[in-house]
């Protein structure tokens, strides 16, 4: 007799969550990965002081930042200075496939019409600036006489994204690289299989401090701090391994 209970653990799926005024209401745009990528590459780039403008300014302490001046003058007191968190990037490839959906066309009319083109379009829109929200703010400014005809063109911005990879990694990101390989097509030449390669750069609180959307900014910074706190806890947990390693080095 078999039961309906499965011993296989439920697999959490990764996702990108967009907070943008492109969408009506408080519901964010959630793009859940159809299949989790088999590999996830990431790198951390420590902060590096900018080079001094010239040697004379480095010696006199003029020009450039404090870090670059100290570095150029050879001061050992600031050799470990780092005012910001290290930069972090992710690289991953997403597999999109409408084959299973096409086996039951009555339940997946969108897949029948466009294959995976709708999913690709949702990912591509993450790279476009949110002009609707900026235009709304500009219209409000005009009513309040906060802008004039001499003001420059509005500066649009892309939406804040959250990269969700399980409960231990929820960080604000910006898409920095994007490429699509369409691998099979319907009779209407819509892709039914595709591979999307995405590069993400983590946004630190320093990047987000001047963001105009206070709600999205608060969510993003809270997510960053939450993930950093978990990382800190995990690093503290490694102390047990360190003690064990030290004991293993003992000659007795």
Q: Quick one: pLDDT at residue 118?
A: 95
pLDDT value at residue 213: 78
Distance between CA atoms of residues 94 and 175, nearest Å: 14
Residues 6+ apart with CB under 8 A from 73: 58, 59
How far apart (Å, rounded) are the C-alpha atoms in residues 80 and 51? 16
> Rounded to whole angstroms, how far apart are CA atoms 93 and 177?
11
| Confidence band for 7, pLDDT divided at 50, 70 and 90 | low
Alpha helices in 106-213 (DSSP H): 109-114, 117-124, 131-143, 205-208
Specify the pTM.
0.74
The answer, yes or no, to whether residue 247 has pLDDT greater than 70, is no
- Which one has a higher pLDDT value, 20 or 116? 116
Segment 31-37 shows an average pLDDT of 95
Question: What secondary structure, in 3-state letters, does 12-76 show?
Answer: CCCEEEEECCCCCCCCCEEEECCCCCCCCEEEEECCCCCCCCCHHHHHHCCCCCHHHHHHHHCCH
What does each C-alpha distance from 205 to 73, 91, 198, 222 come to in angstroms?
30, 21, 22, 9
Residue 147: per-residue pLDDT: 43
Q: Please give the share of the chain, as a percent, with pLDDT higher than 70.
A: 69
3 Cβ partners below 8 Å, 6+ apart? none
Which range of 40-54, 129-143, 208-222 scores highest in mean pLDDT? It is 208-222
**Count of CB atoms situated within 10 Å of the CB of 40:** 13
Task: Give per-residue pLDDT as tens, 165-185.
Answer: 999 999 999 999 999 999 999
pLDDT of residue 144: 40
Query: What pLDDT, in 10s, does the model give residues 57-88?
Result: 444 444 433 333 334 444 444 777 888 899 99
pLDDT number for residue 45: 92
Q: Do residues 161 and 16 touch, judged by C-beta distance below 8 A?
A: yes
> What residues have CB less than 8 Å from 44, skipping those under 6 apart?
86, 87, 88
| Angstrom distances, CA of residue 58 to CA of 49, 76, 84 | 13, 15, 22
């Amino acid at each position: 007799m078999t039961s309906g209970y499965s011993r296989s653990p439920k697999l959490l799926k990764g996702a990108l969550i967009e907070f943008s005024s492109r969408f009506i209401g408080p519901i964010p745009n959630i793009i859940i990965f159809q299949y989790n990528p088999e590999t996830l590459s990431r790198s951390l780039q420590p902060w590096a002081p900018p080079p001094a403008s010239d040697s004379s300014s480095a010696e006199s302490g003029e020009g450039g930042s404090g870090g670059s001046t100290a570095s150029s003058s050879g001061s050992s007191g600031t050799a470990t200075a780092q005012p910001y968190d290290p930069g972090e990037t992710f690289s991953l490839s997403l597999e999109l496939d409408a084959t299973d959906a096409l086996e039951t066309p009555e339940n997946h009319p969108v897949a029948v019409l466009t294959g995976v083109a709708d999913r690709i379009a949702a990912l591509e829109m993450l790279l476009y600036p949110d002009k609707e929200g900026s235009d709304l703010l500009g219209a409000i400014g005009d009513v309040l006489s906060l802008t004039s005809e001499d003001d420059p063109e509005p500066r649009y911005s892309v939406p804040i994204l959250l990269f969700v990879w399980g409960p231990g990694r929820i960080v604000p990101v910006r898409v920095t690289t994007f490429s699509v390989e369409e691998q099979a097509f319907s009779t209407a030449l819509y892709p039914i299989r595709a591979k999307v390669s995405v590069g993400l750069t983590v946004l630190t609180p320093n990047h987000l401090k001047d963001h105009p959307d206070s709600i999205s900014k608060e969510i993003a910074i809270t997510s960053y701090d939450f993930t950093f706190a978990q990382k800190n806890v995990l690093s503290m947990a490694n102390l047990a391994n360190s003690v064990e390693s030290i004991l293993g080095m003992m000659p007795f």
